[in-house]
Amino acid sequence: MKTTAEPFAGLSVALVTPFKGEEVDYDCFREQIEFQIAAGTNCLVPVGTTGESPTLNHADHDRVIAFVCETTAGRAKVMPGTGSNSTAEALRLTKNAEKAGADAALQVAPYYNKPTQQGLYEHFKRLAEETGLPQCIYNIPGRTGKNIEPETIARLAELENVVMVKEATGSLDQASAILSTTDLMVLSGDDSLTLPLMSIGAKGVVSVVGNIIPQDMIALIAAFNAGDMAEAMRRHHQLFRLCRDMLGLATNPIPVKAAMKMLGRDSGELRLPMTPLETSQEATLRKTLVEYGLL
């Protein structure tokens, strides 16, 4: 195992970006960061999918990363999303994150332009070689329209700075191929697949539901690591419906922001083209939160 990846095992939380009107609400953001640190979250992941990065302008993107690094002040790892479908833009974002004090960079596969496997390799290779941050390859073909094949990931694993994969293909076979052919750390990119992926060798999760119940995700991971499979499975089944609703009721981060608003921890505001839950979806989400014991 690449030793630079070990500090990122456990719970990473894909932070929402709180908004007030047209601006980022940094007061609310500070409260959310402190909430995660108090809970024992190992790594904070701002400006990813959950952080509505596609709707942040370049200045917002850089400022959010710097703010999370400054506020965290070494009390947790920070792994911001710095990916783009432009290699030059991803490189700029990653270099700025490095200057801000980030500990690693989450690199989503280039989206929309759908490069070849060689193009994907060259993209990530340049980021790994021209910046000093450990790189986590983020494979989510449902968003990007292109799978990073296990053979490409195996080639990337030979690069010193490529140390992790956020695996969000939903395929245990793909994760198994990566784990059996590389020394990369695999992190689940789907909350509901955390336990299944850990059972084949993954070391944690980049979590959406962790925005509201980080302690419960930490407890699931701890139970598995302690060899208490009965408790790990109990936690998995307890969390399942909540995890399903966070990603199934509507496009992420719409449901988790709605849940945080219900819990008094976020305004729930989204930037277009993201729109709020429908009334019937809100009722379903509220029912889930009540049954879980959060409301």
Phi, psi of 66 (to 5 degrees): -60, -40
Q: Do 79 and 103 contact (CB within 8 A), yes or no?
A: yes
Q: Give the position of tokens 């509507």.
A: 250
Q: How far apart are CA 98 and CA 169, in angstroms?
A: 28
Catalytic residue among 77, 166, 203, 257: 166
The number of residues in the chain equals 295
Q: Give the position of tokens 């494979």.
A: 139
Is the previous residue joined to 273 through a cis bond, with omega within 30 degrees of 0?
Answer: yes
Establish whether 138 is a catalytic residue. yes
Report CA Rg, the chain. Answer: 18
Sheet with 105-108, edge to edge strand ranges: 77-78, 43-45, 10-14, 204-207, 185-188, 162-167, 135-139, 105-108
Catalytic residue among 138, 146, 203, 257: 138
Q: How far apart are CA 127 and CA 92, in angstroms?
A: 9
Which of 25, 27, 6 has its CA nearest to residue 17?
Answer: 25
Q: Specify the DSSP element, H or E, that contains 265.
A: none
> Active-site positions?
138, 166
